[in-house]
Amino acid sequence: MSGLEARVHVERSAQFRLDVELTIPEGRTVALLGPNGAGKSTAVATLAGLTPLQAGHIKLDGRVLDDPAAARFVPPEERQIGVVFQDYVLFPHLTVAENVAFGLRSGGSTRAEVKSEVVRWLDRFGLGDLAVARPPDLSGGQAQQVALARALITEPKMLLLDEPLAALDVTTRAQLRHELIDHLEGFSGPRLLITHDPTEAFLLADEIYIIEGGRITQVGSADDIRIRPRTSYIADLAGSNLLVGSAAAGIVMVEGFELLVGDTHISGPVLATVHPRAISVHRRHPEGSPRNTWQTEILRIEHYGDRVRLRTGDPLPLTAEVTPVAAEALALSAGSKVWISVKATEIGVEAD
């Protein structure tokens, strides 16, 4: 099959053990989402061929890249996997144009071919004016663009992005996230996005793999993960509701629905996050309640451990979390009519 199929097993010590399975079809983006130290960067290093596997296999478009059992190992320079490294790792002694040209020069293109391709790619990324600049003089956003252009120019078979937005400030991050979505769509091979930021994973990936302590604890779409988080880490960090809307004067419009938010200064496109535990569920219209109050229906209800997750319906579908005691007291089940309320200050808002 085309795309990536991998089982990555690396054991570095009794404390560190990475054992994950990844399948990424062509044209799909998978996010590997997890806390720092979960083994994400080691996964990148093994796929790129910078760290050999101890067990398992890596197969890209049917070609075996690493298989310790068969004593097969394709070195990094022959893998054709484009990597955008964490902090970008631009070559500090080369100019922007030389950085972007690096892969083509390694590939044996003629000088003239390299030059015209580099000009084309620099223009595509709006980096034309920075051709002779050096990496230490670039802003974080510019460095990320150079790193992406440097990886894509060689037309790799797969793209690995290790925390591509983590080093950026909030405003630049929102802008580059949009551009990254475009670049990912323009790339036909499998893409793997490594991130610790659930928002990034939800917005950029088709499928999310959650990694904790070197193991995959859940695989699914953003909705799957919100309604049925398998671990408390997932529930706490990856389980938030993410709403895309636009803000003005303390109100965020989400598909025609008005939400009051604490931040009255922000305006324009925004991402709003609401943690499921910040949502209150009532049987009757709550009195003296927050102004974000509306009536809806419970679509699904999932019990897991000491928590219960609800999926609510129109006008604003959300995932809410209550204790089993509360669920019982309110006699909640699929189809129940309930009132939902959210305090304005519990809604996180950032520029999109």
Interface residues with other proteins (CB under 8 A)?
45, 48-50, 75-83, 85, 89, 91-93, 102-103, 106-107, 150-151, 154
For other proteins, the closer of residues 3 and 103 by Cβ is: 103
DSSP alpha helices (H): ranges in the chain?
40-48, 96-106, 111-124, 140-152, 170-185, 198-204, 222-227, 232-233, 324-329
The single-letter code of the amino acid at 323 is T
For other proteins, the closer of residues 97 and 340 by Cβ is: 97
Min separation Cβ 143 and other proteins, Å: 13
Min separation Cβ 102 and other proteins, Å: 5
Min separation Cβ 177 and other proteins, Å: 23
Min separation Cβ 114 and other proteins, Å: 13
Helix, strand, or coil here: 224?
helix
**Under a CB-based contact definition with an 8 Å cutoff, are residues 160 and 82 in contact?**
yes
Min separation Cβ 117 and other proteins, Å: 14
For other proteins, the closer of residues 80 and 341 by Cβ is: 80
For other proteins, the closer of residues 41 and 232 by Cβ is: 41
For other proteins, the closer of residues 156 and 276 by Cβ is: 156
Min separation Cβ 129 and other proteins, Å: 23
Query: How many alpha carbons fall within 13 Å on the CB side of residue 121?
Result: 27
Residues 6+ apart with CB under 8 A from 282: 289, 330, 338, 339, 340, 341
For other proteins, the closer of residues 83 and 342 by Cβ is: 83
Residue among 344, 195, 183, 178 at smallest CA distance from 274: 344
- Distances from the Cα of 342 to the Cα of 35, 272, 275, angstroms: 28, 13, 10
Residue among 24, 78, 12 at smallest CA distance from 205: 24
What is the distance between the alpha carbons of residues 223 and 235, in angstroms, rounded to a whole number?
Answer: 12
